[in-house]
Amino acid sequence: MPKLIEYQDMAPRAKTVVEGIAQARGIDPAAINNVWKALARHPAVMERFAAEMKAAFAPGKLDPLTKELVYLAVSITNQCDYCIASHGAMAQAKGMTEEMHEEFMSVVLAAQKGNKITTAYRVPVDAAFEEK
């Protein structure tokens, strides 16, 4: 099976998922991103991921850019190149300026350091941070 399956070659279940995403984004289904072309071989996994992404990015209390930054922070920490490239581009499309990007990176790197410091020094959780 090829690594990437183009829209026109997908099975009906995969096509339906792609059409839903394409419609929501106002793009042609044939222009869908590679991640969906790769997932097309496994329609059940594909449907669940599409539904989960839709729910995660549905309008709510957090604004769309904040959500992209959270997604990007996870992707940098996991060192996922595809996700950094794609959600970096989406964060820019949703308003992330170069200045915001730099501030974001400062927080990501500070967190990274804080994570390793508290682990390396085996710091016990303060009583004040424990939920009752």
Which one, 23 or 27, has the nearer CB to its own copies?
27
Q: How far is the CB of 91 from its own copies (least distance, A)?
A: 11
Phi/psi of residue 86, nearest 5 degrees: -75, -45
Q: How far is the CB of 6 from its own copies (least distance, A)?
A: 13
Is the separation of the CB atoms in 93 and 57 below 8 Å?
Answer: no
Q: How far is the CB of 23 from its own copies (least distance, A)?
A: 19
Which one, 23 or 93, has the nearer CB to its own copies?
93
Which one, 24 or 74, has the nearer CB to its own copies?
74
Provide the H-helix boundaries in the chain.
Answer: 12-25, 34-39, 43-56, 64-77, 81-93, 98-120
